[in-house]
Chains A and B, each alone.
Chain A
Amino acid sequence: MAARARQVPDRVSRRQFLRRAAGLGTAVAAFPEFVPASGLGRAGTVAPNSRIVMGCIGVGGQGTRGMAGGIWAPEGGFIGRKEIQVVAVADANQRNRDNAQRIVNEKYGNRDCASYRDFRELLARREIDALLVATGDRWHPLVAIAAAQAGKDVYCEKPTSVTIEEALAVRAAVRRYGTVMQVGTQQRSSYSFRFACELVRNGYIGDVKEAIVAVGGPAGIRHCDLPGEPVPDWLDYDLWLGPIPWRPFNSRFVGGWMGYRDCSGGEMTNWGAHHFDIAQWGLGMDESGPIEIIPPNGKDIKVLTYRYANGALLTRDPDRLMREAGQGNGVMFTGTKGKVAVWRYELRTWPEHLARQRLGPNELHLHECDNHHTDFINSIRSRSRPGSDIGIAARSITVCHLGNIAYELERPVEWDPQLERFVNDPQADRLFSRSMRSPWHL
């Protein structure tokens, strides 16, 4: 849907901008009190206290946790931050949006939170500066692109997309309109993951030979074959489906969409979005990617293997990580002088003393932030790119998709990380993108 034309210049007042840039928004003002103004160059109104006005699109489990706190979300969520004012929620599922609306209203002690079935109505609200997008994966690209066109900054849960083309399209839209987009690969805002990558990038394990990622593979994901059931009255099923092929409603399909190929790349993009992202970070490939992807062949290649132009390898090998690091879900880097393994809550090094290494100011320091939401907010203020900027995330999720494509074709594929295209492979090209169900499109 086209964004509404703006008749008012999208300007920000000096006072509003400077308060935000200085991080002063938390210090003042009664709440809520909104007056029309324009904020940071985006259409809409902004609170005089310079709070960032936010809408939440997709407020199921993860969306609610991102909004209000819970597992795998910074404590208290966006709603728990004084710099943020959540004013609207949207979800095709009425139960989800009613629940989220109640949470917001209870938090603020009022009844001001608007609730929308269709996210496009929320996007049309001019005063909304930023979005939390936690829809199903299939919706991430469409909502992110529409948000960029509407000039809104986005915190979008991972994975960015279901295809490579979608991820690149999101990146193009965000760059075109100069918005901020932070993807929810929050391991980038974790000390242990950052430090592990800093050890690798600063040569503490010598020349990097291999990164080993432990995530689930493509097994267990397929096209949905569940029988049809009556569509419940609390769900706008057509909108819920969005860009994916129509099929009859089934409650298990809606409740377990992550197990179905139209909606998801399975564990390769679910946990893969996190751990392949860290592998890319540690290998220094945030602006590049592998040149060859080789699926296991039952002979000499036992595990999914990526080859980079500098000779480094990246493998998906949970058994090896378990064997060597005692952990079945994480990342390990091996080099000529040592190893670093990292997962949620723990980092291990060989030799052990590397874990206590302190980096000097003259060494490479990676993007530092210890709270993924804070990092997003800082970027909204400074207009700099956040730690999980869409440019980085698009590259990382491409690695995940490339793995899935190699698995699906059951043969190696070559990739040009500069052009971001397969090398002379019309069959793989057919899996580079997919048509969206009309009227949705990239």
Chain B
Amino acid sequence: MNHIEMQDRPGPGDASGVRASDRAAKPMAALARPVAVGCAVLFALGLWPARADALDDALAQLKTYHFGQDRAVLDKLARLVVEARATPAVSEDLAHRLAAVLQTDAAFDAKQFVCRELVTIATEREAPALAGLLKDEQLSHLALQALVRMPGRSVDALLREALGQTTGRTQIGIIHTLGDRRDGDALASLVRLLEGPDETLAAAAVAAGKIGGQTAAEALIRLWASASGAIRPTVGDALLTCADVQMSQGDMEGAARICELLYRAEGFDRLRAAGLRGLAKARPSQAVELAAEALKDEGAPRQQAAAASIRELPGAAATRTFARQLASLGPIGQVLALSALGERGDVAALPQVTALCLSADGAVRLAALRAVGVLGDDSSVKLLLVHASGGDDLEREAARAALTALRGPGINQTLAQALGGGEAKARVEIINALSRRGAAETSVKLRGMTDDAAAEVRLAAFRALRELSPFTELPALVELLLRGRTEDRDEAEKMVLAVARQGADEAQRTAVLLGRLAEAKEASTRVSLLRLLGQIGGGRALGALRAAARDDHAEVRLTVTRSLAEWSTDEPLADLRATVREGRDEQQRLLALRGYIRLIGLNEARAPKDASRLYREAMGLASNAPEKRMVLAGLAELRTLEALELAAATLADPVLRPEAEVAVLAIARGVCGAYPDRTKAVLARVLEGARAPAASKQAQEVAGLLQSFGDYLAAWEYSPAYTQGDAGCQQLFDIPFAPEIPEQSAAVVWRILAPSTDPRQPWLLDLLAALGGEQRVAYLRTRVWSPQAESLILELGSDDGIKAWVNGRLVHGNNAVRAIAPAQEKVKVALQQGWNTLLLKVTQNVMGWSACARFRKPGGEAVEGLRAQVE
């Protein structure tokens, strides 16, 4: 092959199909310039280090560089390479100086760095230095990385020369590089290597295929005929690559010969299929005929390849051919062809596709129904409705999807007209299809269906209206609800609720309902409207509920209590407490108590001590064991010492003991780091009288957790998360928030931080688990008691950035975005004798958010006598 032939192949550095060595002739002309000019130019341009010897120093340092050493010299040189690229003379000079390092006894680590940097700036002038590494098993690859896309015929020559001087893996690397460079002059050598050992032969075949051309094709065809065993698929693949090259060069017949050879290859069905696809491209006039023939080969890969052709081959004639063939195909072919015809999207195939919806074969029917969904029109509606309301589950599902997907201006109208008669299940299918299709224009018709004699039709209509109705139709829908049948009320309420929620604000959302409530005479009407208002929420709705709390009808009062118990905020806490105390109706009282407990836990902003007080109060309101169990269930979510004590107090009650154990263990798991001594005492009580083995096991696990902290500080409280406007985590790092502002810090609500749930990281202070979120910041605080004044090392880790204050003095800050590891920073700090405060500020970018901390002696030893405690 000569270089003219190769111009149709993208080669190294070649974006347009023109060989890089030719196109790069202009830059290469720079080589003719005296090198000495380089430095002068560089100085003149101000692009070179202020002193030329600074570069020499850097290169001298580089020669002795080893992995693990300070990488400053690497960064410096890499920066120079980036800057040099803009100016050819600078780039050439720097490349030359770097390449010179390769010819010294510099360390492997340094040479690897040089090769990487040369990838973008090396020229033919540096090629010999790089080629000198080709025999080096470890560096050969890096040299090839720099050479593979370097323009220049001398590069090819160097690679060909090295081919004869290497063996094994290094030679194989060079073979592939010659292939990647599309070096036609290497073909003779590569053809000789086709007689070598299998691994070399395979590489040479792949490279020859990439280079392509007549010589390569003939050599590979000969090899295909003679090769055996595992190597043949590789040769076949190389032939297909070669055929692609032929096609890109316009030699369609040459490519077709190769593809036909493989298409006829018995015993290699996958290659046959690939050959078919190649043949269709090389001989487009035969493509439809070939695909039609292959489609008949039931179950063979080439049948799949033919189906792919159905998707790709253009023209109405092709559609007609494949559609006509459908009926005569085997079931596998029919399924493949139907799927492909659907994707082809030519409606000309609709009659034949529709016919197969009645196939005796279930899989064929399914594929046909799916294709009708894509190709169908008004005329398909009736057929699809039959399948949607009959047949097996899969068939119904396929028909429904097809009904949803049908395109055309009259489909919705056709469906709506069909609502006038037929079986109830068909009407349900129509309504559901209209809903899925978003056919809002049929809502009047659908409202009429809420009065259908069949319950399933009415329910389907309510559901459809829920999906389709705009807010403006709310009054009409409320009317439907209030006039409707009692048995449909749940579904009708869901409809009204969904549409009411479309209102722009609370006033809009509640206005219609409040208006109807004011004039409602029937208790059942008031119940329905109050239930809806309860779910919509807001001040107006709450006012209406409170007003109805004294309604004459018990059912209305019960509805009010239920709605308040399920309120989305803790606003009705006092209402519910009053209802419990009043105790007028037992069912109502129980609902109120349950709601009261729920609302205590609902307010995440409530200070833990206030929550503890409310739970204590709830325990007092509970009049029997089931009610106390409810309180324990809520209490178990709290993480305070008071909660632990309150739950522990119920351990003595044999009736409550199982629930008490669960609550105690849940709380203990959360507060054990903060209150280790008290937790141990409570755990001992659990272990003494535990009834369930699981409780003992969990108690032992919590006790074990207490031992796992080592000398990491485990007693911590965390603040709320803070954000400010659009500030990202690295901006938040420098913005002070309440915990670090003395005059505001007293108002901060602190919570106990539960220990990590990751047994591999017991030291982890997991703010993500506690607070979640992204682009925010939070604080952690603890107190540390030191037996004496002492200088220590505070070892910190964080995800992401961290600041630390000891006794109110800022001792460290690192505005990092990173993953956590222990002791990422070691900060020298002075602890005073007695109690010391430690405050951490930790920023959160995305994903993990955590910190860890411990004190160590300056020599790294553990510190005796320290203990941490929350405030």
A22 engages B363 (CB within 8 Å): yes
Known contacts A361-B404, A433-B149; is A5 also within 8 Å of B273 by CB? no
Give 14 A-B contacts (CB < 8 Å), ordered by A residue.
Answer: A2-B230, A5-B267, A12-B332, A18-B332, A176-B274, A178-B274, A246-B138, A248-B67, A322-B728, A361-B407, A423-B15, A430-B119, A436-B141, A438-B140
The reply on B145 being an interface residue by CB < 8 A is yes
The reply on B116 being an interface residue by CB < 8 A is yes
* Residues in A neighbouring B128, C-beta threshold 8 A: none
Q: List which B684-742 residues lie within 8 A (CB) of chain A.
A: 726, 728
* Residues in A neighbouring B69, C-beta threshold 8 A: 225
Known contacts A10-B269, A22-B394; is A426 also within 8 Å of B24 by CB? yes
Closest B residue to A325 by beta carbon equals B726
B366 engages A245 (CB within 8 Å): no
The reply on A257 being an interface residue by CB < 8 A is no
A2 engages B120 (CB within 8 Å): no
* Residues in B neighbouring A10, C-beta threshold 8 A: 269-270, 300-301
The reply on A286 being an interface residue by CB < 8 A is no
Min Cβ gap B59→A in Å is: 17
Question: Complex Cα distance A150/B206, Å?
Answer: 16
Q: Mark A7-39, 1 if CB is under 8 A from B, else 0.
A: 101111110011101111000000000000010
* Residues in A neighbouring B240, C-beta threshold 8 A: 176
Min Cβ gap A440→B in Å is: 9
The reply on B187 being an interface residue by CB < 8 A is no
Q: A2-B231, A245-B142, A361-B404 are in contact. List 7 more A-B contacts (CB 8 A).
A: A176-B237, A225-B68, A328-B846, A361-B405, A429-B14, A435-B141, A438-B140
Min Cβ gap B674→A in Å is: 29
Q: List which A172-229 residues lie within 8 A (CB) of chain B.
A: 175-178, 223-228
B845 engages A328 (CB within 8 Å): yes
CB-contact partner of B270 in A18, A43, A319, A422, under 8 A: A43
Question: Complex Cα distance A183/B20, Å?
Answer: 33
What are the 10 A-B residue pairs with the smallest beta carbon separation, nearest first? A227-B68, A438-B173, A41-B301, A358-B438, A22-B363, A2-B234, A11-B299, A421-B15, A323-B726, A18-B363
* Residues in B neighbouring A435, C-beta threshold 8 A: 141, 144-145, 148, 173, 176-177, 180
Known contacts A41-B270, A329-B774; is A178 also within 8 Å of B120 by CB? no
Q: Choose among A5, A245, A384 the residue with the greatest number of B CB atoms under 10 Å from its CB.
A: A5
A18 engages B331 (CB within 8 Å): yes
* Residues in B neighbouring A362, C-beta threshold 8 A: 407-409
* Residues in B neighbouring A410, C-beta threshold 8 A: 82, 85
Question: Complex Cα distance A3/B277, Å?
Answer: 20
* Residues in A neighbouring B339, C-beta threshold 8 A: 382-384
Q: Mark B38-65, 1 if CB is under 8 A from A, else 0.
A: 0000000000000000000000000000
B270 engages A42 (CB within 8 Å): yes
Chain A facing B: main interface SS: loop
* Residues in A neighbouring B411, C-beta threshold 8 A: 361
B273 engages A178 (CB within 8 Å): yes
Q: List which B283-319 residues lie within 8 A (CB) of chain A.
A: 298-301, 303-305, 307-308
Min Cβ gap B103→A in Å is: 20
* Residues in B neighbouring A21, C-beta threshold 8 A: 332, 335, 363, 366-367
* Residues in B neighbouring A432, C-beta threshold 8 A: 149
A177 engages B270 (CB within 8 Å): yes
CB-contact partner of B149 in A7, A409, A429, under 8 A: A429
Closest B residue to A253 by beta carbon equals B67
Closest A residue to B122 by beta carbon equals A430
The reply on B670 being an interface residue by CB < 8 A is no
Known contacts A10-B300, A177-B274; is A246 also within 8 Å of B141 by CB? yes
B residues at A contact (CB < 8 Å): 10, 12-16, 20, 23-24, 27, 66-69, 71, 74, 82, 85-86, 109, 112-113, 116, 119-120, 138, 140-142, 144-145, 148-151, 169-170, 172-173, 176-177, 180, 198-199, 202-203, 206, 228-234, 237, 240, 267-270, 273-274, 277-278, 298-301, 303-305, 307-308, 330-332, 335-336, 339-340, 343, 361-364, 366-367, 394, 404-409, 411, 437-440, 467-468, 502, 726, 728, 774-775, 845-846
Closest B residue to A10 by beta carbon equals B269
Chain B facing A: main interface SS: helix
A residues at B contact (CB < 8 Å): 2-7, 9-14, 17-19, 21-24, 38, 40-43, 149-151, 175-178, 223-228, 245-248, 250, 318-319, 322-323, 326-329, 356, 358-362, 365, 382-384, 408-411, 416, 419, 421-427, 429-439, 441
Known contacts A2-B202, A383-B307, A426-B151; is A328 also within 8 Å of B774 by CB? yes
CB-contact partner of A365 in B268, B335, B405, B408, under 8 A: B405
Question: Complex Cα distance A359/B27, Å?
Answer: 56
A41 engages B176 (CB within 8 Å): no
Closest B residue to A223 by beta carbon equals B116
* Residues in A neighbouring B303, C-beta threshold 8 A: 41
* Residues in A neighbouring B299, C-beta threshold 8 A: 11-14, 17, 38, 41
* Residues in A neighbouring B330, C-beta threshold 8 A: 14
Question: Complex Cα distance A319/B119, Å?
Answer: 33
Closest A residue to B433 by beta carbon equals A361
* Residues in B neighbouring A326, C-beta threshold 8 A: 726
* Residues in B neighbouring A358, C-beta threshold 8 A: 438, 440, 467-468
Question: Complex Cα distance A435/B115, Å?
Answer: 12
Q: Choose among A42, A150, A427 the residue with the greatest number of B CB atoms under 10 Å from its CB.
A: A427
Question: Complex Cα distance A378/B603, Å?
Answer: 46
A322 engages B15 (CB within 8 Å): no
Question: Complex Cα distance A384/B371, Å?
Answer: 12
Question: Complex Cα distance A248/B109, Å?
Answer: 9
* Residues in B neighbouring A41, C-beta threshold 8 A: 269-270, 273, 299-301, 303-304
CB-contact partner of B269 in A6, A22, A226, under 8 A: A6
Known contacts A427-B120, A439-B199, A441-B176; is A319 also within 8 Å of B269 by CB? no
* Residues in B neighbouring A43, C-beta threshold 8 A: 270
CB-contact partner of B230 in A3, A13, A383, A430, under 8 A: A3
* Residues in A neighbouring B177, C-beta threshold 8 A: 435
* Residues in B neighbouring A23, C-beta threshold 8 A: 366, 394
Min Cβ gap B625→A in Å is: 38
Min Cβ gap B498→A in Å is: 10
* Residues in A neighbouring B467, C-beta threshold 8 A: 358
